[in-house]
Amino acid sequence: MKATIITIGDEILIGQITDTNSGFIAKALNKIGVDVHEMISISDDKNHILETFAKVQNQVDFVIITGGLGPTKDDITKITFCDYFLDTLERNEAVENHIVALFTKMNFVVSQVNLDQALVPSKCTVLQNNFGTAPGMWMQKENTVFVSLPGVPYEMKAIVTNELIPKIVNEYKRPYILHKTILTYGQGESIVAKRIEEWEDKLPTFVKLAYLPSPGRVRLRLSARGLEEYFLHTTINRLVTELQEIINDIIVGFEEDESIEVVLGKLLAQKGFTLSTAESCTGGKISEVITSVSGSSAYFRGSIVSYATDTKVSILKVNQSTINAYSVVSKQVAEEMACGAQKLLQTDFAIATTGNAGPAKGDADATVGTVCLAIATPKGVCSEVYNFGQPRQKVIDRAVNKGLELLLKEILKNY
Amino acid sequence: MKATIITIGDEILIGQITDTNSGFIAKALNKIGVDVHEMISISDDKNHILETFAKVQNQVDFVIITGGLGPTKDDITKITFCDYFLDTLERNEAVENHIVALFTKMNFVVSQVNLDQALVPSKCTVLQNNFGTAPGMWMQKENTVFVSLPGVPYEMKAIVTNELIPKIVNEYKRPYILHKTILTYGQGESIVAKRIEEWEDKLPTFVKLAYLPSPGRVRLRLSARGLEEYFLHTTINRLVTELQEIINDIIVGFEEDESIEVVLGKLLAQKGFTLSTAESCTGGKISEVITSVSGSSAYFRGSIVSYATDTKVSILKVNQSTINAYSVVSKQVAEEMACGAQKLLQTDFAIATTGNAGPAKGDADATVGTVCLAIATPKGVCSEVYNFGQPRQKVIDRAVNKGLELLLKEILKNY
């Protein structure tokens, strides 16, 4: 089965907001064996919407539309739905009751604008929106089902998870798709590609391989498709084992879609270790990434973001003489910061960063892009120096990744 | 002039990565008066690419394609380009020299896979890629120019900024487009809409208004288009002044595309104030957002992420008796955390957060989603309690926004 995802909204076409909805929907559809054929972003313009509907009609089984359902004047999806399906708007009592209940709970007065969100095409099946006022709408024309969802991510996600996916699973037969993603660290795309060339050439035709490079790492995704679930599983497992043997010196994690902070968190929790960070150029982002994982309070105790140089001395107890001798951006200072956080926050491990993210030169003489990373462990402290170039955000992101990676390698190797 | 942006890559269609490239390109094109008609994401499949090219041919002036240019086997854009333009690949000497120089500089051996990136369609104009090996390619067929760019964001951005945009500016005449975005805080989309309804109805036809809601704030974007630059400027300025008068009690910032952290940073730098944060449930994200702004070291001194309860006492000097009396998620603890950070990091202002981001209940009895925010100022300390519901990431993001917003309002009002 195939789907096309349409996002409606001028704000996307002028680049003011990034469409993250389509990716979420694609992932959810993929898991139940529905392939996404295309993703299309179009304007809040009735004719443009109608033309696009006509183009995708009968080309795919499902058309999932997000955006254009808010209470304001630039949202016109609902009216366009009526045009396309030759239908009229009708007040839906269940939706109206839900809107009134939602506003009452928040102690807000319900306006007419809000109440009008209960107007839906008379022939549509409503998909309940527990987190907002605009309901999802499911309508069929010939061989294609059109589903319209609100653009607010939290609302859209809840409807997809609780209403749309269960409805498709219950009402349609689908093939089986299995994805397995292998995370590799420390080598670029072309080097990884050369290493696995021979293995790749022998892949069965029902298995596809994709390279997903991002700063400092390459993910390899294997996708297998067929009707025999057990056969797909054994094939993929065999291929992953072969792959691990070929690139075992550069691979670190190999769980489907698991980010490094999740892998690291599981490892820390499992081994009963605690962690802290001492951050300068990363500004708290390592801490933020670690605590984005729910349950992180089991192993993460805190962070000192010592952005100003003197706070490295006053709080983390870095020696002023070390700063004078080696400069604030140095392996020595990074090591003292890591040990300082480890001691102050009483943790087994600590990650520390000091560097110059740019664009201008900071307090220190370090070249723009230079980052010193240190890992304090129960057995001592180690450090590395990198230059991540520019721009600023890239330097910060790569320092965060590299810090997590160094810690992960250290724990896997020595603990 | 119109453009369509095409993103090639299965990794986007299965939702593994989010396409941020299209937004960047759209913004860049918009600024020079090129409208984006559609954004389309398609698979790494030759026929799918060819069909899509045929569909957009002569429908728009420019087709900007990203992705499918890496050195690995799943990248087939270049070959498809040859097919579509009835051309063949030819080694480009300038590109080859650049690749060799790039690898030599990094002390890497150049592989054949890398060298083959110098193969480009013979009729194309090469757009130099300073940060990577895959060059941009510019080719024309009838009324449409097709531009292929690498998918790696840093490489793509540099080519767009340094090569593509200057080339379009030099070679084509375009209308003038002016966008102005007004940030509003504290009221929902429907309330803002009702307040400005009358003003909105009287907008000139060449001005469009769009609502861009996100957690805790609504951005209003005015877009004017025409040939008279000066006339557009005066019109937009007049409309913005009118708008400010109507919603002056809820508006906080009003600079085009400026995020709250940039507005706040400017204000702090201008007034010579310093800032620190004490974060629990936000895990360092307020600090990270503040330091994402270059030059933030002028006003930001650091943060204490006191994730474990006892670190609030040992480092921030929160009284254990306050925690016992009011629980760790309370206004009282937030206020003591803010004052602790203000004192420890010696700053004029401090933002503190303590809460339960969920999904499970934490140390405290607080309901999932509860966040207490405190602002320490030179004149004292104030605090607020919110419930941001679920999921976890939403709670964290809204707490970050709300913390920055409270501080901004406090400074604008009292300093």
Interface A-B, measured as beta-carbon pairs within 8 A, has a size of: 297
How many angstroms away from the CA of A69 is the closest CA of chain B?
12
pLDDT of residue A17: 82
The pLDDT tens digits for A246-301 are 886 655 455 556 778 988 999 999 999 999 999 999 999 999 999 999 999 999 99
In a shared domain, residues A154 and A236: no
Overall average pLDDT of the A114-122 stretch: 90
**CB-CB: which of A12, A297, A389 is closest to B362?**
A297
Q: Report the distance separating Cα B179 and Cα A2, nearest Å.
A: 38
Q: Report the distance separating Cα B306 and Cα A277, nearest Å.
A: 11
Percent of chain B predicted with pLDDT > 90: 60
Asked whether the beta carbons of residue B302 and residue A308 sit closer than 8 angstroms, the reply is yes
The pLDDT tens digits for B142-183 are 999 999 998 888 889 999 999 999 999 999 988 888 888 887
In a shared domain, residues B249 and B286: no
Least confident segment among A80-84, A186-190, B315-319:
A186-190
In a shared domain, residues A136 and A22: yes
Neighbours of B202 (CB within 10 A): 8
In a shared domain, residues A167 and A188: no
Overall average pLDDT of the B117-131 stretch: 92
> Which ranges of A196-327 would DSSP assign to H, the alpha helix?
197-201, 229-246, 260-271, 285-291, 309-314, 320-326
In a shared domain, residues B81 and B229: no
Residue B186 banded pLDDT, cuts 50, 70, 90: low
User: Is a pLDDT exceeding 60 seen at residue B231?
Assistant: yes
How many angstroms away from the CA of B409 is the closest CA of chain A?
23
User: Is a pLDDT exceeding 60 seen at residue A226?
Assistant: yes
Residue B364 banded pLDDT, cuts 50, 70, 90: low
Asked whether the beta carbons of residue B23 and residue A15 sit closer than 8 angstroms, the reply is yes
**CB-CB: which of A27, A194, A305 is closest to B15?**
A27
CATH of the domain at A91: 3.40.980.10
- Do β-strands A62-66 and A144-149 pair in parallel, antiparallel, or remain unpaired? parallel
**Of B236, B253, B270, at which residue does a domain stop?**
B253
- Would you state the structure tokens that stand for residue B353, as one six-digit string? 């957060």
Overall average pLDDT of the A151-179 stretch: 90
In a shared domain, residues B241 and B296: no
Owning domain of residue A248: 176-253
User: Is a pLDDT exceeding 90 seen at residue B380?
Assistant: yes
pLDDT of residue B249: 62
């809820």: which residue's tokens? B250
In a shared domain, residues B164 and B199: no
Chain A's closest residue to B304, CA to CA, is A304
* Chain A residues closer than 8 Å to B288 by CB: 282-285, 287-288
Task: Identify the CA nearest to A233 among candidates A262, A256, A200, A215.
Answer: A256
**Of A136, A171, A206, at which residue does a domain stop?**
A171
Residue A138 banded pLDDT, cuts 50, 70, 90: very high
User: Is a pLDDT exceeding 80 seen at residue B106?
Assistant: no
The pLDDT tens digits for A258-268 are 778 988 999 99
C-alpha distances in Å from residue B399, one per residue of A218, A356, B288: 33, 28, 13
Q: Report the distance separating Cα A297 and Cα B158, nearest Å.
A: 40
Most confident among A131-135, A378-382, B390-394 (mean pLDDT): A378-382
* Chain A residues closer than 8 Å to B283 by CB: 284, 287-288, 290-292, 296
User: Is a pLDDT exceeding 90 seen at residue A32?
Assistant: no
CATH of the domain at B399: 3.90.950.20
Domain count, chain A: 3
In a shared domain, residues B154 and B22: yes
In a shared domain, residues B70 and B212: no
pLDDT of residue A297: 94
């309860």: which residue's tokens? B309
Asked whether the beta carbons of residue B39 and residue A41 sit closer than 8 angstroms, the reply is yes
pLDDT of residue B279: 98
**CB-CB: which of B212, B279, B303 is closest to A16?**
B212
Asked whether the beta carbons of residue B27 and residue A16 sit closer than 8 angstroms, the reply is yes
In a shared domain, residues A228 and A282: no
User: Is a pLDDT exceeding 80 seen at residue B304?
Assistant: yes
Asked whether the beta carbons of residue B13 and residue A37 sit closer than 8 angstroms, the reply is yes
Query: What is chain A's alpha carbon radius of gyration, rounded to the nearest angstrom?
Result: 26
Chain B's closest residue to A258, CA to CA, is B16
**Of B189, B221, B253, at which residue does a domain stop?**
B253
CATH of the domain at A195: 3.30.70.2860
Chain A's closest residue to B215, CA to CA, is A152
Overall average pLDDT of the B180-209 stretch: 85
In a shared domain, residues A136 and A12: yes
Rounded to an integer, what is the distance from CA A89 to the centroid of its chain?
A: 37
**What CA dihedral angle connects A362, A365, A368 and A370, to 10 degrees?**
-110
In a shared domain, residues B354 and B399: yes
State chain A's mean pLDDT as an integer.
Answer: 89
ipTM of the complex: 0.71
Neighbours of A104 (CB within 10 A): 11
User: Is a pLDDT exceeding 60 seen at residue A88?
Assistant: yes
User: Is a pLDDT exceeding 70 seen at residue B28?
Assistant: yes
State chain B's mean pLDDT as an integer.
Answer: 89
